[in-house]
A and B are shown apart, each in its own frame.
Chain A
Amino acid sequence: MSTTTKSNTQLLVDGILKENPIFKLALSMCPAVGISTSVMNGILLGTAVLFVQVFSGCTISLVRNYIHPKIRIPTYTLTIATWVTVIDLVLAAYVPGAYKAMGMFVRLIVAFAIITMRLEMFASREPLTKSFWDGLGMGLGFMVGMVTLGVVRELLGSGELLGYDVLGFKPLLFFVLPSAGFFVVGLMMGFFNWIEVAYNRRKEG
């Protein structure tokens, strides 16, 4: 009973561009504003979201016919919480080095709107393969968004990229402060919209 006509690749690309969680769907803005102060943060949080999104999407897709419609949301939350806990425990046990940097972010994910929203909009209606590709696309889209924000803010705020000194000076400290997150996210949204408009216009004319 698949309702989507998109191909798997289309799902993947849409998640990154046309339906980018941060810039187009405007979901999970708290982490986008709060944590995107450096590229590394973006990569770590992005990776964590990618895994949780894919795993929860697949789980919900598998049991989608058995979920009672009145308790959809608790079921989604439980699924996400379970996967977050599992990933948290596995990371702590087998990659303690990465866990030290990522641990805090992983636990945050339980409350991310983008994951619940994709489960509700997509995974609870579509078969496993489609849900997998949608999760992958959304996860990657989130990661791309976070990294883009991170590049702008880290470069302009602290003159560094991935912790390496690139500019040799700090152009505008303002960019690493929380309020700058709103500005950068807003400008990026505009930029993404502008690209889309320009692209559509060219296609037509």
Chain B
Amino acid sequence: MKEIIKITLALIITCVVAASAMGLTFTLTAKAKKHNHHMNVHNAMMGLLGFGQDNPAPSDLELLSVYRYIVEDSDQKFLGYMVPVEKDGEETYEMVLIDLESNFVKKLEVPISMEAAQEAHDRASALDKVLSPNQSFIYADASVIATAGNKRIGYILPGKFPGFRTFIHVLVAMDPQFELLGLEIMEHEEDAGLGAEIEEDYFKKQFEGISYDKLKTLNVVKKPMPEEYTQYLEREQLTEGLLTKEHIAEIQRKYKDQDIYAITASTISSKAVTNGVKGIAKKFAYRIGKLDSVLEKQKIRAAF
């Protein structure tokens, strides 16, 4: 009996010490990890907008986030858009409540800085203060609107959808006319060598330049990809045998608004991504249209 107690105690102590060490490291590294994650997302967004080392972003480029909430008031449901606005030279947020028929209900000032609004926790506590206690709210999603010199240059939509294994997290970029600028896969657990190929240029770059009309009916084809198209899609990795500018333009024309070539032996992953992107883009295009018309009618001067 005494032995058992001794062993139990020893194990408990070991576990507590081990857990404290791990917990301590986690706390100490959490900030740096979060920063890395933000930087990753930021770099991916810049890449999607076409800015990089050879093409630096303009100095007046701004990435403005709009957060969408579902607000419930007893038995009524509203959509709540947290919209960045400029007030007395300072950037803050306003909550615009819209009913399900897209009619304006009311607007509330949310005193929170852009920086703080990035944190879900800070956002929730700010909303808690401005919404009445019988209104509950659930976070739905966020969209990023890129502006340069007060003109919209693109939308970046973080989103996720089920893949073959688990959720695939992506960033979808569209220009103001809803033409796809590109797709970035942020996180996935598809099988290596099969579904994981969705990360490769020859798959994800097929989404570049697809017009909104085509996007609505975008599909997956199970055909071998033509050699020249592969070369074109992977042109950034090539070190030799570069395509000429004219050649690139020609291929671009030839394959514009085509369906997506599926990855060999990974049709499910390919379809999941294609339909996922389609869903994210179509929903956003619809929502931003409604939101814009409400903002215009109510003369709300959003920062985008």
Give every chain B residue within 8 A of A79 (Cβ-Cβ). 18
* Listed stretches B8-16, B133-141, B292-300; interface member: B8-16
Please count the residue pairs between chain A and chain B whose beta carbons lie under 8 angstroms apart in the complex: 47
Residues of B within 8 A of A68 (CB): 6-7, 10
B10 proximity list for chain A (CB < 8 A): 66-68, 71, 75
- A93 pairs with B32, CB closer than 8 A: yes
Question: Within the assembled complex, what's the spacing in Å between the Cα atoms of A85 and B3?
Answer: 31
With A and B bound together, what is the CA distance between A86 and B26 in angstroms?
Answer: 8
B36 located at the interface, meaning its Cβ lies under 8 Å from any Cβ of chain A in the complex:
yes
- Most chain B beta carbons < 10 A, residue from A67, A86, A90, A94: A86
Q: Label chain A's interface by main secondary structure.
A: helix
For A15-29 the 0/1 string (1 means CB < 8 A from B) is: 000000000000000
| Contact B18 A82, beta carbon cutoff 8 Å | yes
B25 within 8 A of A: yes
Complex interface residues of chain B between 26 and 53 (CB less than 8 A to chain A): 26, 29-30, 32-33, 36, 40
Contact B36 A74 (CB under 8 A): no
B residues near A86, Cβ cutoff 8 Å: 21-22, 25
* Cα–Cα, bound, A75→B7 (Å): 11
Q: In the complex the two chains form, what is the Cα distance from A36 to B26 in whole Å?
A: 31
CA separation between A5 and B30, bound complex, in Å?
A: 44
Docked Cα-Cα span, A68 to B10, in Å, equals 7
A81 at the interface (CB under 8 A from B): yes
A79 CA to B25 CA in the complex, in Å?
14
Cα of A75 to Cα of B17 in the assembled complex, Å: 11
Q: Select from chain A the residue with minimum beta-carbon distance to B22.
A: A85
Whether A171 is near chain B, meaning CB under 8 Å from some CB there, is no
Size class of B's contact patch?
10 to 19
User: Number of contacting residues on A, CB 8 A?
Assistant: 19
Contact assessment for A90 and B29 in the assembled complex, using a CB-CB cutoff below 8 Å:
yes
Do residues B32 and A94 form an inter-chain contact, with CB atoms below 8 A?
yes
CA distance A131 to B18 in the complex (A): 20
**CB closest residue in chain A, given B27:** A89
Contact of B15 among A67, A70, A78 (CB under 8 A): A78
Neighbouring A residues of B11 by C-beta, 8 Å = 71, 74
- Alpha-carbon gap, A71 to B4, bound state (A): 11
- B21 CB to nearest A CB, Å: 5
Are the C-beta atoms of B36 and A96 separated by less than 8 Å?
yes
Tell me the bound Cα distance from A139 to B29 in angstroms: 26
The answer to whether A161 has its CB under 8 Å from any CB of chain B is no
- Measured CB to CB, the nearest residue on chain B to A86 is B25
A82 to B36, Cβ gap below 8 A?
A: no
Q: Across the interface, do B33 and A75 meet the contact criterion of CB distance under 8 Å?
A: no
Q: Does A188 contact B (CB under 8 A)?
A: no
Chain B residues with Cβ below 8 Å from A66 are 10
- B interface residues (Cβ-Cβ under 8 A, vs A): 3, 6-7, 10-11, 14-15, 18, 21-22, 25-26, 29-30, 32-33, 36, 40
Of the A-B pairs whose beta carbons lie under 8 Å apart in the complex, a sample of 22, sorted by A's number, is: A67-B10, A68-B10, A70-B3, A70-B7, A71-B11, A74-B11, A74-B14, A75-B10, A78-B18, A79-B18, A82-B18, A82-B21, A82-B22, A86-B21, A89-B22, A89-B25, A89-B26, A89-B29, A90-B25, A93-B30, A93-B36, A96-B36
CB-based closest 6 A-B pairs:
A93-B29, A93-B32, A82-B18, A68-B10, A93-B33, A86-B25
Q: Footprint of B on A, CB under 8 Å?
A: 66-68, 70-71, 74-75, 78-79, 81-82, 85-86, 89-90, 92-94, 96
A71-B11, A90-B25 are known; give 19 further A-B pairs, CB within 8 A. A66-B10, A68-B7, A71-B7, A71-B10, A71-B14, A75-B10, A75-B14, A78-B14, A78-B15, A81-B18, A86-B22, A86-B25, A89-B25, A89-B26, A89-B29, A89-B33, A93-B36, A96-B36, A96-B40
